Structure 1
Amino acid sequence: MLDLSGSTLEVLPRWIGNLKHLRFLDISNCPNIKKLPNSICKLQNLQTLFLDGCDQIEELPKDMRYMISLRFLLLATKQRDLHGHGLQHLKSLRVLAIYGCENLEYLFDGIQKLTSLHTLWIVDCKKLVSLPHGLKYVAALQSLVIGVCEKLDLSTAQELKEKEDYNEDYLVDTGFSLQSLYIADLPKLKALPQWLLRGSANTLKNLTITGCENLTTLAEWHNLTSLEKLEIKCCPKLSTLPKTMKRLKQLKIEDCTLVSQRCQQEIGEDWPKVAHASRIVLDGNTITAPELLINPTP
Protein backbone atom coordinates (compact mmCIF):
# COMPACT_ATOMS: atom_id res chain seq x y z
CA MET A 1 0.00 0.00 0.00
CA LEU A 2 1.31 3.45 -0.96
CA ASP A 3 -0.64 6.58 -0.04
CA LEU A 4 0.63 9.81 -1.61
CA SER A 5 -2.73 11.59 -1.52
CA GLY A 6 -2.69 15.33 -0.94
CA SER A 7 1.07 15.62 -1.43
CA THR A 8 2.92 18.44 -3.23
CA LEU A 9 4.61 16.05 -5.64
CA GLU A 10 5.13 17.42 -9.12
CA VAL A 11 6.60 14.27 -10.67
CA LEU A 12 6.04 10.62 -9.82
CA PRO A 13 9.40 8.79 -9.90
CA ARG A 14 9.95 6.21 -12.64
CA TRP A 15 11.12 3.64 -10.10
CA ILE A 16 7.54 3.26 -8.93
CA GLY A 17 7.27 0.64 -11.66
CA ASN A 18 9.65 -1.54 -9.67
CA LEU A 19 7.14 -2.00 -6.85
CA LYS A 20 5.90 -5.17 -8.48
CA HIS A 21 3.89 -6.38 -5.49
CA LEU A 22 2.09 -3.08 -4.87
CA ARG A 23 -1.69 -3.51 -4.77
CA PHE A 24 -2.95 -0.10 -3.61
CA LEU A 25 -1.75 3.29 -4.87
CA ASP A 26 -3.45 6.55 -3.89
CA ILE A 27 -2.23 9.69 -5.69
CA SER A 28 -5.51 11.57 -5.31
CA ASN A 29 -5.67 15.33 -4.73
CA CYS A 30 -2.15 16.04 -5.95
CA PRO A 31 -2.82 19.17 -8.02
CA ASN A 32 0.81 19.68 -9.07
CA ILE A 33 1.24 16.41 -10.92
CA LYS A 34 1.02 16.89 -14.67
CA LYS A 35 2.27 13.55 -15.94
CA LEU A 36 2.56 9.97 -14.77
CA PRO A 37 5.49 7.80 -15.84
CA ASN A 38 4.58 4.98 -18.20
CA SER A 39 6.50 2.68 -15.84
CA ILE A 40 3.43 2.74 -13.58
CA CYS A 41 1.86 0.35 -16.09
CA LYS A 42 4.32 -2.34 -14.99
CA LEU A 43 2.38 -2.71 -11.75
CA GLN A 44 0.57 -5.84 -12.84
CA ASN A 45 -0.53 -6.68 -9.28
CA LEU A 46 -2.00 -3.25 -8.63
CA GLN A 47 -5.71 -3.53 -7.79
CA THR A 48 -6.55 0.03 -6.74
CA LEU A 49 -5.43 3.31 -8.36
CA PHE A 50 -6.81 6.66 -7.20
CA LEU A 51 -6.06 9.65 -9.42
CA ASP A 52 -9.12 11.74 -8.62
CA GLY A 53 -8.36 15.37 -7.83
CA CYS A 54 -5.25 15.31 -10.03
CA ASP A 55 -6.91 17.60 -12.54
CA GLN A 56 -3.63 18.82 -14.03
CA ILE A 57 -2.63 15.46 -15.48
CA GLU A 58 -2.17 16.22 -19.17
CA GLU A 59 -2.33 12.63 -20.38
CA LEU A 60 -2.75 9.19 -18.86
CA PRO A 61 0.00 6.58 -19.39
CA LYS A 62 -0.32 4.89 -22.78
CA ASP A 63 0.12 1.28 -21.62
CA MET A 64 -2.59 1.04 -18.98
CA ARG A 65 -3.90 -2.07 -20.76
CA TYR A 66 -1.14 -4.04 -19.02
CA MET A 67 -2.46 -3.23 -15.53
CA ILE A 68 -4.33 -6.50 -15.68
CA SER A 69 -5.24 -6.75 -11.97
CA LEU A 70 -6.75 -3.29 -11.67
CA ARG A 71 -10.18 -3.42 -10.00
CA PHE A 72 -10.77 0.13 -8.80
CA LEU A 73 -9.81 3.13 -10.92
CA LEU A 74 -10.63 6.74 -10.05
CA LEU A 75 -9.17 9.21 -12.49
CA ALA A 76 -8.94 12.81 -13.63
CA THR A 77 -7.23 14.22 -16.71
CA LYS A 78 -7.11 17.25 -18.99
CA GLN A 79 -7.55 15.10 -22.11
CA ARG A 80 -10.41 15.55 -24.59
CA ASP A 81 -10.94 11.79 -24.81
CA LEU A 82 -9.61 8.61 -23.25
CA HIS A 83 -8.67 6.79 -26.45
CA GLY A 84 -5.28 5.14 -26.81
CA HIS A 85 -4.64 3.94 -23.27
CA GLY A 86 -6.17 0.49 -23.49
CA LEU A 87 -8.72 1.08 -20.74
CA GLN A 88 -11.13 -1.25 -22.54
CA HIS A 89 -8.74 -4.15 -21.89
CA LEU A 90 -8.91 -3.93 -18.10
CA LYS A 91 -10.95 -7.10 -17.74
CA SER A 92 -10.69 -7.12 -13.91
CA LEU A 93 -11.97 -3.56 -13.52
CA ARG A 94 -15.02 -3.42 -11.24
CA VAL A 95 -15.31 0.28 -10.41
CA LEU A 96 -14.49 3.14 -12.79
CA ALA A 97 -14.96 6.73 -11.63
CA ILE A 98 -14.19 9.71 -13.83
CA TYR A 99 -14.19 13.01 -11.93
CA GLY A 100 -13.58 16.64 -12.83
CA CYS A 101 -12.27 16.18 -16.36
CA GLU A 102 -12.94 19.68 -17.60
CA ASN A 103 -11.91 19.04 -21.22
CA LEU A 104 -13.31 15.55 -21.63
CA GLU A 105 -15.73 15.26 -24.58
CA TYR A 106 -15.79 11.48 -25.04
CA LEU A 107 -14.76 8.39 -23.06
CA PHE A 108 -13.38 5.48 -25.08
CA ASP A 109 -14.56 2.80 -27.47
CA GLY A 110 -14.84 -0.83 -26.44
CA ILE A 111 -16.25 -0.17 -22.99
CA GLN A 112 -18.42 -3.28 -23.46
CA LYS A 113 -15.22 -5.34 -23.06
CA LEU A 114 -15.13 -4.42 -19.38
CA THR A 115 -16.94 -7.60 -18.43
CA SER A 116 -16.39 -7.17 -14.66
CA LEU A 117 -17.44 -3.51 -14.43
CA HIS A 118 -20.33 -3.12 -11.98
CA THR A 119 -20.03 0.57 -11.00
CA LEU A 120 -19.48 3.57 -13.28
CA TRP A 121 -19.33 7.19 -12.11
CA ILE A 122 -19.07 10.11 -14.53
CA VAL A 123 -19.13 13.37 -12.58
CA ASP A 124 -18.25 17.00 -13.30
CA CYS A 125 -17.22 16.52 -16.92
CA LYS A 126 -18.80 19.68 -18.27
CA LYS A 127 -17.78 19.27 -21.91
CA LEU A 128 -18.81 15.63 -22.24
CA VAL A 129 -21.23 15.40 -25.17
CA SER A 130 -21.90 11.68 -25.55
CA LEU A 131 -21.44 8.25 -24.01
CA PRO A 132 -19.90 5.24 -25.76
CA HIS A 133 -22.22 3.15 -27.90
CA GLY A 134 -20.99 0.01 -26.14
CA LEU A 135 -22.18 1.13 -22.71
CA LYS A 136 -25.53 -0.56 -23.20
CA TYR A 137 -23.70 -3.89 -23.58
CA VAL A 138 -21.91 -3.79 -20.22
CA ALA A 139 -23.92 -6.66 -18.77
CA ALA A 140 -22.28 -6.62 -15.31
CA LEU A 141 -23.04 -2.94 -14.70
CA GLN A 142 -25.24 -2.51 -11.63
CA SER A 143 -24.71 1.11 -10.57
CA LEU A 144 -24.50 4.14 -12.86
CA VAL A 145 -23.95 7.71 -11.69
CA ILE A 146 -23.92 10.64 -14.12
CA GLY A 147 -23.77 14.17 -12.80
CA VAL A 148 -22.80 17.76 -13.59
CA CYS A 149 -22.27 17.18 -17.30
CA GLU A 150 -23.94 20.24 -18.75
CA LYS A 151 -23.45 19.38 -22.44
CA LEU A 152 -24.52 15.75 -22.16
CA ASP A 153 -27.93 14.88 -23.55
CA LEU A 154 -28.61 11.19 -22.96
CA SER A 155 -31.80 11.26 -24.99
CA THR A 156 -30.19 12.42 -28.22
CA ALA A 157 -26.69 10.91 -28.06
CA GLN A 158 -26.49 9.29 -31.50
CA GLU A 159 -24.31 6.42 -30.32
CA LEU A 160 -27.06 5.18 -27.99
CA LYS A 161 -30.19 6.23 -29.80
CA GLU A 162 -29.79 4.48 -33.13
CA LYS A 163 -32.69 2.22 -34.10
CA GLU A 164 -34.56 2.64 -30.80
CA ASP A 165 -37.34 4.57 -32.51
CA TYR A 166 -37.77 1.87 -35.15
CA ASN A 167 -37.78 -1.33 -33.15
CA GLU A 168 -39.07 -1.33 -29.61
CA ASP A 169 -37.47 -4.72 -28.97
CA TYR A 170 -34.01 -3.35 -29.75
CA LEU A 171 -31.76 -3.40 -26.68
CA VAL A 172 -33.86 -5.98 -24.83
CA ASP A 173 -31.19 -8.67 -25.13
CA THR A 174 -28.12 -6.49 -24.53
CA GLY A 175 -27.84 -7.63 -20.92
CA PHE A 176 -27.90 -4.05 -19.64
CA SER A 177 -29.68 -4.31 -16.29
CA LEU A 178 -28.99 -1.66 -13.65
CA GLN A 179 -29.92 -1.87 -9.99
CA SER A 180 -29.12 1.74 -9.15
CA LEU A 181 -29.26 4.87 -11.31
CA TYR A 182 -28.34 8.38 -10.14
CA ILE A 183 -28.63 11.35 -12.49
CA ALA A 184 -27.89 14.92 -11.44
CA ASP A 185 -27.54 18.33 -13.05
CA LEU A 186 -27.97 17.47 -16.72
CA PRO A 187 -29.65 20.61 -18.08
CA LYS A 188 -29.99 19.19 -21.62
CA LEU A 189 -31.84 16.09 -20.51
CA LYS A 190 -35.49 16.20 -21.58
CA ALA A 191 -36.43 12.53 -21.31
CA LEU A 192 -34.80 9.35 -20.10
CA PRO A 193 -34.03 7.33 -23.24
CA GLN A 194 -35.21 3.80 -23.89
CA TRP A 195 -31.75 2.24 -23.74
CA LEU A 196 -31.29 3.44 -20.18
CA LEU A 197 -34.46 2.07 -18.59
CA ARG A 198 -35.84 -0.63 -20.83
CA GLY A 199 -33.29 -3.33 -20.05
CA SER A 200 -33.44 -2.45 -16.36
CA ALA A 201 -37.21 -2.45 -16.01
CA ASN A 202 -37.15 -5.64 -13.92
CA THR A 203 -33.90 -5.01 -12.02
CA LEU A 204 -33.74 -1.31 -11.09
CA LYS A 205 -34.20 -0.82 -7.33
CA ASN A 206 -33.01 2.73 -6.73
CA LEU A 207 -33.61 5.72 -8.99
CA THR A 208 -32.56 9.28 -8.12
CA ILE A 209 -32.89 12.26 -10.43
CA THR A 210 -32.02 15.76 -9.30
CA GLY A 211 -31.37 19.15 -10.86
CA CYS A 212 -32.55 18.28 -14.38
CA GLU A 213 -34.46 21.46 -15.09
CA ASN A 214 -35.69 20.47 -18.55
CA LEU A 215 -36.66 16.87 -17.84
CA THR A 216 -40.31 16.34 -18.79
CA THR A 217 -40.87 12.59 -18.73
CA LEU A 218 -39.56 9.36 -17.22
CA ALA A 219 -40.77 7.39 -20.24
CA GLU A 220 -44.07 6.62 -18.58
CA TRP A 221 -44.71 3.42 -20.52
CA HIS A 222 -42.03 1.66 -18.47
CA ASN A 223 -43.08 -0.76 -15.76
CA LEU A 224 -40.32 -0.59 -13.14
CA THR A 225 -41.37 -3.75 -11.37
CA SER A 226 -38.41 -3.92 -8.94
CA LEU A 227 -38.15 -0.24 -8.04
CA GLU A 228 -38.02 0.25 -4.26
CA LYS A 229 -36.75 3.80 -3.85
CA LEU A 230 -37.56 6.79 -6.09
CA GLU A 231 -36.21 10.25 -5.34
CA ILE A 232 -36.76 13.26 -7.61
CA LYS A 233 -35.59 16.79 -6.81
CA CYS A 234 -35.57 20.10 -8.67
CA CYS A 235 -37.13 18.88 -11.91
CA PRO A 236 -39.86 21.53 -12.35
CA LYS A 237 -41.00 20.39 -15.81
CA LEU A 238 -41.34 16.71 -14.96
CA SER A 239 -45.00 15.71 -15.23
CA THR A 240 -45.10 11.91 -15.35
CA LEU A 241 -44.02 8.88 -13.34
CA PRO A 242 -43.52 5.27 -14.46
CA LYS A 243 -46.80 3.40 -14.90
CA THR A 244 -46.11 0.54 -12.52
CA MET A 245 -43.93 0.52 -9.39
CA LYS A 246 -45.48 -2.33 -7.45
CA ARG A 247 -42.51 -2.78 -5.05
CA LEU A 248 -42.05 0.90 -4.27
CA LYS A 249 -41.18 1.45 -0.59
CA GLN A 250 -39.84 5.00 -0.50
CA LEU A 251 -40.84 8.03 -2.54
CA LYS A 252 -39.38 11.50 -2.13
CA ILE A 253 -40.38 14.43 -4.34
CA GLU A 254 -38.95 17.89 -3.78
CA ASP A 255 -39.29 21.09 -5.86
CA CYS A 256 -41.16 19.28 -8.64
CA THR A 257 -44.52 21.05 -8.59
CA LEU A 258 -46.27 19.06 -11.31
CA VAL A 259 -45.31 15.65 -9.93
CA SER A 260 -46.08 16.66 -6.35
CA GLN A 261 -49.59 17.66 -7.36
CA ARG A 262 -50.13 14.35 -9.14
CA CYS A 263 -49.01 12.44 -6.04
CA GLN A 264 -51.25 14.22 -3.54
CA GLN A 265 -52.83 11.80 -1.10
CA GLU A 266 -56.19 10.43 -2.31
CA ILE A 267 -56.77 13.20 -4.89
CA GLY A 268 -53.67 13.14 -7.08
CA GLU A 269 -53.85 11.46 -10.48
CA ASP A 270 -50.76 9.36 -9.71
CA TRP A 271 -51.70 8.58 -6.10
CA PRO A 272 -52.83 5.01 -7.00
CA LYS A 273 -49.33 4.36 -8.40
CA VAL A 274 -47.56 5.27 -5.15
CA ALA A 275 -50.12 4.80 -2.36
CA HIS A 276 -48.69 1.41 -1.37
CA ALA A 277 -45.24 2.87 -0.51
CA SER A 278 -44.43 2.78 3.22
CA ARG A 279 -42.83 6.23 3.19
CA ILE A 280 -43.81 9.16 0.98
CA VAL A 281 -42.33 12.64 1.35
CA LEU A 282 -43.69 15.47 -0.80
CA ASP A 283 -41.85 18.78 -0.42
CA GLY A 284 -40.89 17.99 3.15
CA ASN A 285 -44.30 16.69 4.19
CA THR A 286 -44.36 13.03 5.18
CA ILE A 287 -47.36 10.91 4.29
CA THR A 288 -47.66 7.80 6.43
CA ALA A 289 -48.84 4.62 4.78
CA PRO A 290 -52.57 4.01 5.48
CA GLU A 291 -51.95 0.50 6.79
CA LEU A 292 -49.62 1.88 9.48
CA LEU A 293 -52.36 4.20 10.61
CA ILE A 294 -54.84 1.36 10.83
CA ASN A 295 -52.49 -1.07 12.59
CA PRO A 296 -49.96 1.05 14.46
CA THR A 297 -46.98 -0.69 15.95
CA PRO A 298 -47.31 -1.04 19.76
Structure 2
Amino acid sequence: MLQPPHAALQRLSINGCFKFVSFLGGLAAPKLTHLDVSWCSKMKALPRDMNTLLPNLHTLNIQGCTEIGQLQEGDLPSNLKELSVAGCKQQVSDLSWMANLEELTHLTIDGRDCDSVKSFPEVGLLPHLPSLTTLHLFFLEYLETLECNKLFHLTSLKTLRFYECPKLKNMAGENLPSSLSLLEIIYCDLLGELCKNKHPDIWPKIAHISTIKVNGQQIV
Protein backbone atom coordinates (compact mmCIF):
# COMPACT_ATOMS: atom_id res chain seq x y z
CA MET A 1 0.00 0.00 0.00
CA LEU A 2 1.43 3.37 -1.01
CA GLN A 3 2.23 5.85 1.74
CA PRO A 4 0.93 9.45 1.46
CA PRO A 5 3.62 11.66 -0.14
CA HIS A 6 4.24 13.54 3.12
CA ALA A 7 3.58 10.72 5.59
CA ALA A 8 6.20 11.82 8.17
CA LEU A 9 5.67 15.60 7.96
CA GLN A 10 4.62 17.11 11.32
CA ARG A 11 5.16 20.86 10.92
CA LEU A 12 5.07 23.04 7.79
CA SER A 13 5.75 26.76 7.44
CA ILE A 14 5.43 28.63 4.14
CA ASN A 15 6.45 32.25 4.61
CA GLY A 16 6.91 35.06 2.09
CA CYS A 17 6.53 32.92 -1.02
CA PHE A 18 5.10 35.64 -3.23
CA LYS A 19 4.69 33.35 -6.27
CA PHE A 20 3.01 30.50 -4.38
CA VAL A 21 -0.56 30.08 -5.67
CA SER A 22 -1.98 26.76 -4.42
CA PHE A 23 -1.35 23.29 -3.04
CA LEU A 24 -1.66 21.36 -6.30
CA GLY A 25 -3.30 18.01 -5.63
CA GLY A 26 -3.91 18.89 -1.97
CA LEU A 27 -1.61 18.16 0.95
CA ALA A 28 -1.69 14.56 2.17
CA ALA A 29 0.13 14.71 5.52
CA PRO A 30 -1.65 12.55 8.13
CA LYS A 31 0.84 13.43 10.91
CA LEU A 32 0.90 17.18 10.28
CA THR A 33 -0.02 19.04 13.48
CA HIS A 34 1.07 22.63 12.71
CA LEU A 35 0.58 24.59 9.48
CA ASP A 36 1.72 28.20 9.05
CA VAL A 37 1.06 30.03 5.77
CA SER A 38 2.14 33.69 5.93
CA TRP A 39 2.58 36.52 3.44
CA CYS A 40 1.87 34.47 0.35
CA SER A 41 0.10 37.30 -1.42
CA LYS A 42 -0.92 35.28 -4.51
CA MET A 43 -2.16 32.16 -2.76
CA LYS A 44 -5.77 31.50 -3.76
CA ALA A 45 -6.82 28.70 -1.40
CA LEU A 46 -5.83 26.52 1.53
CA PRO A 47 -5.23 22.81 0.89
CA ARG A 48 -8.38 20.98 -0.21
CA ASP A 49 -9.97 18.16 1.80
CA MET A 50 -8.16 19.16 4.99
CA ASN A 51 -10.61 17.17 7.10
CA THR A 52 -9.45 13.92 5.51
CA LEU A 53 -5.91 14.71 4.32
CA LEU A 54 -4.82 16.54 7.52
CA PRO A 55 -6.68 14.61 10.26
CA ASN A 56 -4.24 15.58 13.05
CA LEU A 57 -3.90 19.28 12.30
CA HIS A 58 -4.19 21.11 15.63
CA THR A 59 -2.67 24.54 14.90
CA LEU A 60 -3.26 26.73 11.85
CA ASN A 61 -1.87 30.21 11.23
CA ILE A 62 -3.01 32.15 8.16
CA GLN A 63 -1.44 35.60 7.82
CA GLY A 64 -1.30 38.16 5.04
CA CYS A 65 -2.75 35.87 2.37
CA THR A 66 -5.12 38.46 0.95
CA GLU A 67 -6.21 36.48 -2.13
CA ILE A 68 -7.68 33.50 -0.25
CA GLY A 69 -11.39 33.26 -1.04
CA GLN A 70 -14.08 33.12 1.61
CA LEU A 71 -13.84 29.90 3.62
CA GLN A 72 -16.91 27.74 4.15
CA GLU A 73 -18.06 25.67 7.09
CA GLY A 74 -16.23 22.33 7.00
CA ASP A 75 -13.18 23.60 5.10
CA LEU A 76 -10.99 23.18 8.21
CA PRO A 77 -10.44 20.02 10.28
CA SER A 78 -13.08 19.78 12.98
CA ASN A 79 -10.51 18.85 15.65
CA LEU A 80 -8.47 22.06 15.19
CA LYS A 81 -7.35 23.46 18.56
CA GLU A 82 -5.61 26.75 17.76
CA LEU A 83 -6.41 29.14 14.91
CA SER A 84 -4.88 32.50 14.02
CA VAL A 85 -6.18 34.59 11.13
CA ALA A 86 -4.43 37.84 10.26
CA GLY A 87 -4.71 40.32 7.40
CA CYS A 88 -7.22 38.20 5.48
CA LYS A 89 -10.15 40.56 4.99
CA GLN A 90 -12.78 38.07 3.86
CA GLN A 91 -12.06 35.65 6.70
CA VAL A 92 -12.04 38.33 9.42
CA SER A 93 -15.22 40.12 8.38
CA ASP A 94 -17.36 36.94 8.40
CA LEU A 95 -16.53 34.19 10.91
CA SER A 96 -19.45 31.87 10.18
CA TRP A 97 -17.06 29.44 8.47
CA MET A 98 -15.82 28.36 11.94
CA ALA A 99 -19.11 26.66 12.79
CA ASN A 100 -17.67 23.11 12.81
CA LEU A 101 -14.70 23.91 15.07
CA GLU A 102 -16.15 22.52 18.29
CA GLU A 103 -12.72 21.61 19.73
CA LEU A 104 -11.13 25.02 19.10
CA THR A 105 -9.61 26.42 22.32
CA HIS A 106 -7.53 29.42 21.12
CA LEU A 107 -8.61 31.95 18.50
CA THR A 108 -6.68 35.02 17.35
CA ILE A 109 -8.30 37.53 15.00
CA ASP A 110 -5.85 40.10 13.61
CA GLY A 111 -7.77 42.74 11.69
CA ARG A 112 -5.03 44.77 10.06
CA ASP A 113 -6.21 46.09 6.66
CA CYS A 114 -9.83 45.15 7.52
CA ASP A 115 -11.56 48.52 7.49
CA SER A 116 -15.09 47.05 7.45
CA VAL A 117 -15.07 45.67 11.01
CA LYS A 118 -16.64 48.34 13.23
CA SER A 119 -18.43 46.03 15.65
CA PHE A 120 -17.46 42.55 16.84
CA PRO A 121 -18.92 40.12 16.35
CA GLU A 122 -21.52 41.04 13.77
CA VAL A 123 -24.96 39.45 14.21
CA GLY A 124 -24.85 35.73 13.47
CA LEU A 125 -21.24 35.75 12.33
CA LEU A 126 -19.54 34.17 15.36
CA PRO A 127 -20.66 30.54 15.72
CA HIS A 128 -20.99 28.60 18.94
CA LEU A 129 -17.46 27.53 19.90
CA PRO A 130 -18.07 25.43 23.03
CA SER A 131 -14.41 24.72 23.84
CA LEU A 132 -12.99 28.22 23.24
CA THR A 133 -11.01 29.42 26.27
CA THR A 134 -8.90 32.23 24.75
CA LEU A 135 -9.91 34.98 22.32
CA HIS A 136 -7.42 37.57 21.11
CA LEU A 137 -8.53 40.57 19.01
CA PHE A 138 -5.57 42.43 17.53
CA PHE A 139 -5.13 45.48 15.26
CA LEU A 140 -8.83 46.06 14.62
CA GLU A 141 -8.17 49.67 13.74
CA TYR A 142 -11.80 50.61 13.00
CA LEU A 143 -13.48 48.56 15.73
CA GLU A 144 -15.76 50.76 17.86
CA THR A 145 -18.16 48.38 19.60
CA LEU A 146 -17.91 45.02 21.34
CA GLU A 147 -21.23 43.16 21.13
CA CYS A 148 -21.31 41.49 24.55
CA ASN A 149 -24.49 39.54 23.85
CA LYS A 150 -22.89 37.90 20.82
CA LEU A 151 -20.07 36.55 23.02
CA PHE A 152 -22.30 35.31 25.82
CA HIS A 153 -22.64 31.85 24.26
CA LEU A 154 -18.86 31.30 24.60
CA THR A 155 -19.40 29.50 27.87
CA SER A 156 -15.80 28.22 28.24
CA LEU A 157 -14.12 31.57 27.56
CA LYS A 158 -11.56 32.48 30.23
CA THR A 159 -9.26 35.03 28.57
CA LEU A 160 -10.24 37.98 26.37
CA ARG A 161 -7.44 40.19 25.11
CA PHE A 162 -7.59 43.39 23.00
CA TYR A 163 -4.47 44.86 21.41
CA GLU A 164 -4.23 48.03 19.29
CA CYS A 165 -7.94 48.72 18.83
CA PRO A 166 -7.69 52.53 19.13
CA LYS A 167 -11.36 53.35 18.42
CA LEU A 168 -12.92 50.74 20.68
CA LYS A 169 -15.07 52.50 23.28
CA ASN A 170 -18.46 50.80 23.44
CA MET A 171 -19.75 47.59 24.97
CA ALA A 172 -23.26 46.87 23.73
CA GLY A 173 -25.69 44.49 25.41
CA GLU A 174 -25.41 42.81 28.79
CA ASN A 175 -22.40 41.32 30.58
CA LEU A 176 -19.49 39.49 29.07
CA PRO A 177 -19.48 35.70 29.70
CA SER A 178 -19.48 34.72 33.38
CA SER A 179 -16.66 32.24 32.70
CA LEU A 180 -14.15 35.05 32.01
CA SER A 181 -11.32 35.33 34.53
CA LEU A 182 -8.95 37.66 32.60
CA LEU A 183 -9.68 40.76 30.52
CA GLU A 184 -6.59 42.44 29.11
CA ILE A 185 -6.66 45.75 27.22
CA ILE A 186 -3.42 46.87 25.55
CA TYR A 187 -3.02 50.11 23.56
CA CYS A 188 -6.79 50.61 23.32
CA ASP A 189 -6.74 54.03 24.96
CA LEU A 190 -10.45 54.87 24.82
CA LEU A 191 -11.67 51.60 26.31
CA GLY A 192 -8.73 51.45 28.71
CA GLU A 193 -9.60 54.81 30.27
CA LEU A 194 -13.28 53.89 30.59
CA CYS A 195 -12.33 50.69 32.41
CA LYS A 196 -9.85 52.39 34.73
CA ASN A 197 -12.45 55.04 35.61
CA LYS A 198 -15.15 52.37 36.08
CA HIS A 199 -17.46 54.16 33.70
CA PRO A 200 -21.13 53.29 34.41
CA ASP A 201 -21.76 52.25 30.80
CA ILE A 202 -18.84 49.79 30.86
CA TRP A 203 -18.08 48.67 34.40
CA PRO A 204 -21.28 46.69 35.13
CA LYS A 205 -20.55 44.50 32.09
CA ILE A 206 -17.05 43.52 33.29
CA ALA A 207 -17.09 43.86 37.10
CA HIS A 208 -17.50 40.09 37.56
CA ILE A 209 -14.12 39.39 35.89
CA SER A 210 -11.54 38.58 38.58
CA THR A 211 -8.52 40.10 36.78
CA ILE A 212 -8.68 43.18 34.54
CA LYS A 213 -5.47 44.69 33.16
CA VAL A 214 -4.94 47.89 31.17
CA ASN A 215 -1.51 48.20 29.53
CA GLY A 216 -0.11 45.69 31.99
CA GLN A 217 -1.49 47.45 35.07
CA GLN A 218 -3.97 45.42 37.03
CA ILE A 219 -7.02 47.46 38.04
CA VAL A 220 -8.87 44.57 39.67
What is the TM-score normalised by the length of structure 2? Answer: 0.75
Whether the 8 Å contact between 1:148 and 1:185 is mirrored in structure 2 is: yes
1:209 to 156, 162, 168: 162
Match of 2:23 in 1: 61
Of structures 1 and 2, the larger Rg is shown by: 1
Match of 2:198 in 1: 262
Query: 1:151 Cα deviation (Å)?
Result: 1.3
Taking the aligned partners of 1:134 and 1:146, their CA distance within structure 2 comes to 14
Query: 1:147 Cα deviation (Å)?
Result: 1.6
Percent identity, please.
20
Match of 2:188 in 1: 235
Cα 1:283/1:132, change in 2 over 3 Å: closer
SS at match of 2:99: helix
Whether the 8 Å contact between 2:136 and 2:162 is mirrored in structure 1 is: yes
The superposition leaves residues 226-254 of structure 1 with CA deviations (integer Å, 9 ceiling, x where unpaired) of 2111101233443xxxxxxxxxxxxxxxx
1:119 is aligned to 2:52? no
1:187 to 100, 125, 141: 141
The superposition leaves residues 55-99 of structure 1 with CA deviations (integer Å, 9 ceiling, x where unpaired) of 424213222353233221111222364266334543321100112
Taking the aligned partners of 2:96 and 2:27, their CA distance within structure 1 comes to 20
Q: CA RMSD in A?
A: 3.9
Match of 1:248 in 2: none
Q: How does 1:1-298 map to 2 (within 5 A)?
A: 42-51=5-14, 53-76=15-38, 77-79=40-42, 81-82=44-45, 85-89=48-52, 90-101=54-65, 103-104=66-67, 106-111=69-74, 114-125=77-88, 130-151=93-114, 153=116, 161-162=123-124, 174-193=128-147, 197-200=151-154, 202-238=155-191, 256-262=192-198, 270=203, 274=207, 277=210, 281=213
Mind listing any 5+ residue stretches in structure 1 that lack a counterpart? 1-17, 21-40, 165-169, 239-255, 290-298
Question: Which protein has the bigger helix share?
Answer: 1
Task: Compare relative contact order (CA 8 Å, sep 6+) and give the higher one, 1 or 2.
Answer: 2
Mind listing any 5+ residue stretches in structure 2 that lack a counterpart? none
Cα 1:269/1:228, change in 2 over 3 Å: closer
Question: Which protein has the bigger strand share?
Answer: 2
What is the TM-score normalised by the length of structure 1? Answer: 0.58
Query: 1:118 Cα deviation (Å)?
Result: 0.7
SS at match of 1:49: strand
Query: 1:144 Cα deviation (Å)?
Result: 0.4
Query: 1:133 Cα deviation (Å)?
Result: 2.4
Taking the aligned partners of 1:83 and 1:276, their CA distance within structure 2 comes to 38
SS at match of 1:182: strand
Whether the 8 Å contact between 2:36 and 2:60 is mirrored in structure 1 is: yes
- Tell me how many residue pairs correspond in the alignment: 217
